[in-house]
Amino acid sequence: MSYAYVEASSPNYPSKVFALQSPNLKLSAAPVLAFKFLMYGATMGTLFVEAKIADVTWTKLWEKAGDQGQQWQDASVQVSADATYMRFVGTTGSSWASDIAIDAVFLTLDSVITTKTSTVTAGSTTSPITSTTTTAVSTVPSSTGMPTTTTTTPATATTTTTSTMGIGTTSLTAASTSASSPAVIDLEVRSVVVSGTSWSKISFQGAFSDVPIVIVLPSSEGSDPAAVRIRGINASGFEAAVVEPAGSDGTYADMNVTFLAALPGVRQLGGTGLLLEAGRISTKRVQAGGQCRLSGLTPSWETISFVQGFSSTPAMLTSVQTLNNENNDITTQFSQPWLTVAVTDLEATSVKLALELAETSSQAPGLQMQEEDIGYFALQQGTGVLQPFRTGAAVEVTAILSARVVKGWDNGPVSVKLGSDLGVTSPLILASQSSRFGGDGGWVRLDLRNQPPNATHAAFVVDEDQSCNVERQHTTERVSVVAFSSGASL
């Protein structure tokens, strides 16, 4: 069997905190959370179940402390219909003898939960919060009496610990997979070509256990304002197309881009020691340029509090994940409404996000927009090394948040120093605008025309639409940059 667990061996004690958080629940009724737990050890710590009510505060629903014996036990707890997220919070005890494990986690609308072995049987309406798939599993008892196993990382696994000195990290271990089925992956980064006249179908090299977050960075290829929209994200791939805002004809040259896909959750990035939080929000809050703004539109922000918090301000990558409001055929026409992501007040513990209309709001479909999903990666600044399962070759990754230096398309590209010398001539670059000082709105593009990226630098511009005016100048902005020495799947 497979399960999620807290490994309390040194340096993960004493009192190190681990969290495993669900994606956004979007409940229509008050469910019951059912799960199994194992808390066996002489210096056992605590296990909480918490729910975030109405996206505001975390409320404790269930708690166990101390040694609970050597057998798996069943638990269930009533959850409010107002709950938007749930999480398990485990705290290790005073020594290594405080491993904590959970398994068979389900939400159900039935009030009576019957469990058998490591499965949950209930009524017709059940859905797992987390799922794992394993192969070549070993179940040898450890010195604490808890079985050890090689598992895949759950879709929302958090293996991040806190300490009095700041944030430390550990990681789950990915299982091997047979050659007859796609490898189960937690992250993929790769360069692809996206069409400007049709939807490009992009398949992952492995299979995710849940729907991942996908971030794509448009390049400076072509001369008109342009970005990349994505749709149809699932466990095996997604579709992408180069799009133009109002003021352009809607057709565009193909674009070489890098994408990063990863499962939601909080964990160490593939053994690098860098803390990663991946998440998505559904929102219809918008920002818009002051000129040509639609009458009656009131800009507003969505505040995101990071689950774990960072020791300093992280790098922040963002992309719109859905295409719920699009009115046009964006393979032949301009995109309406034009949507990218606005970011402001990026801090160690929180950030504000919104859908960015820029100066196209007068082209938007009135004030009654549907919600869109915004995906985000918050990554601790620094440098580390990934060990992908496919190639076995080490991949260096570096993350930085630039100073306020990147300017507009008409101002020319600005070179940003990466956090490390990646030792390659053509690294894979992801970036997003991480401030909104310019009143017109805008989005970041990687410069491939004048200053292509190299081992130590990458150049960027902030682009603007031309639906309200033709100029594309922009004041200086901060940009988050994450660079990889090569593609990777892990």
Tell me the pLDDT tens digit for each residue of 459-470: 999 999 998 999
> How far does CA 232 lie from the centroid of its chain?
16
What are the tens digits of pLDDT across the range 389-419?
A: 555 688 999 999 999 999 999 999 999 999 9
pLDDT score for 318: 98
Residue 264 or residue 391, greater confidence? 264
Q: Say if residue 479's pLDDT is above 60.
A: yes
Residue 175 or residue 234, greater confidence? 234
Show the CA angle centred on residue 349, arms to residues 65 and 24, nearest 5°: 70
Mean pLDDT of 214-241: 97
pLDDT score for 130: 36
Asked which of 5-14, 97-106, 169-178, 422-431 is least confident by mean pLDDT, the reply is 169-178
Burial class (CB in 10 A: 0-12, 13-18, 19+), 423: exposed
Return d(Cα 176, Cα 183) in angstroms, integer: 8
* pLDDT confidence band for 95 (50 / 70 / 90): confident
* pLDDT confidence band for 158 (50 / 70 / 90): very low
Of 92, 89, 100, 66, residue with least CA distance to 11:
92
| Ramachandran class of 441: left when φ > 0, alpha when ψ lies in -120 to 50, beta otherwise | left
Q: Say if residue 113's pLDDT is above 50.
A: no
Task: Give percent of the chain with pLDDT exceeding 90.
Answer: 59
* pLDDT confidence band for 29 (50 / 70 / 90): confident
Q: Say if residue 331's pLDDT is above 50.
A: yes
Q: Say if residue 148's pLDDT is above 60.
A: no
Q: Are the CB atoms for 444 and 431 separated by under 8 Å?
A: yes
pLDDT score for 477: 98
Burial class (CB in 10 A: 0-12, 13-18, 19+), 29: exposed
Return d(Cα 418, Cα 451) in angstroms, integer: 14
Q: Say if residue 352's pLDDT is above 50.
A: yes
Q: Say if residue 122's pLDDT is above 60.
A: no
Return d(Cα 245, Cα 304) in angstroms, integer: 28
Contacts of 183 (CB under 8 A, 6+ apart): 177, 205, 206, 207, 389, 390, 489
Asked which of 5-9, 80-84, 195-199, 343-347 is least confident by mean pLDDT, the reply is 5-9
Return d(Cα 129, Cα 266) in angstroms, integer: 15
Return d(Cα 448, Cα 219) in angstroms, integer: 6
Mean pLDDT of 104-131: 44
pLDDT score for 15: 87
Q: Say if residue 179's pLDDT is above 80.
A: no
Strands (E), 40-173: 46-53, 57-65, 73-78, 83-91, 100-108, 114-116, 119-121, 126-128, 160-163, 166-169
**Domains plus CATH for the chain?**
4-169 (2.60.120.200), 265-489 (no CATH)
Query: What is the number of residues in the chain?
Result: 490
Of 170, 128, 176, residue with least CA distance to 3:
128
Find where tokens 């879709």 sit.
Answer: 155
Cis ω before 245 (30° cut-off from 0): no
Residue by residue, DSSP assigns 72-104 as: -EEEEEE--TTEEEEEEEEE--SSS---EEEEE
pTM, entire model: 0.66
Show the CA angle centred on residue 344, arms to residues 343 and 346, nearest 5°: 100
* pLDDT confidence band for 251 (50 / 70 / 90): confident
Q: Are the CB atoms for 67 and 144 separated by under 8 Å?
A: no
Q: Are the CB atoms for 325 and 318 separated by under 8 Å?
A: no
pLDDT score for 290: 85
What are the tens digits of pLDDT across the range 282-292?
A: 999 999 998 88
Contacts of 301 (CB under 8 A, 6+ apart): 285, 287, 342, 344, 345, 352, 353, 354
Q: Say if residue 23's pLDDT is above 50.
A: yes
* DSSP letter assigned to residue 410: T
**Average pLDDT across the chain, whole number:** 83
Q: Give the highest mean pLDDT range of 5-14, 21-30, 82-91, 380-389.
A: 82-91
pLDDT score for 392: 64
pLDDT score for 137: 26
Q: Say if residue 338's pLDDT is above 50.
A: yes
Of 374, 355, 381, 335, residue with least CA distance to 479:
381
* pLDDT confidence band for 444 (50 / 70 / 90): very high
Mean pLDDT of 142-159: 31
Helices (H) and strands (E) in the chain, counts: 0, 37
pLDDT score for 367: 62
- Please report, in angstroms and rounded to a whole number, the separation of the first and last CA atoms in the chain: 21
Of 350, 157, 168, residue with least CA distance to 275:
168
pLDDT score for 2: 62
Of 384, 397, 390, 460, residue with least CA distance to 427:
397
What are the tens digits of pLDDT across the range 371-382?
A: 999 999 999 999
Q: Give the highest mean pLDDT range of 44-53, 153-162, 326-335, 429-438.
A: 429-438
Return d(Cα 256, Cα 376) in angstroms, integer: 21
